[in-house]
Amino acid sequence: MKTFALVCGMGVVVVYSTLLATGNQPDARPLDLAGYVLLAVAALGLAWLPRDPVAALVTCAGAAALCFV
């Protein structure tokens, strides 16, 4: 249960910090539907962290990389 709470907390931090970052950068492109989906994929990818850290890294890094395309 501690791991689940940690992963949920990390997901909240990822989403919140991304929304703060986009709101505080005047030249930032606002998030569209694809941006929100990729943000959710990155946050949900953290769920694999305890069992398969490589899958979590690939999922989160892949979603982050696709945001810049």
Of 44, 46, 26, nearest to 36 by C-alpha is 44
pLDDT tens, per residue, the chain with 69 residues: 677 787 788 878 888 888 888 778 888 777 789 888 888 888 888 888 888 999 989 998 998 888 777
Only one residue has tokens 């940690």, namely: 6
CA 50 to chain centre: 16
pLDDT of 1 reads 66
Q: What are phi and psi of 31, to 5 degrees?
A: -70, 130
Rounded Cα gap, residues 6 and 36, in angstroms: 22
**Is 11 within 8 Å of 43 (Cβ atoms)?**
yes
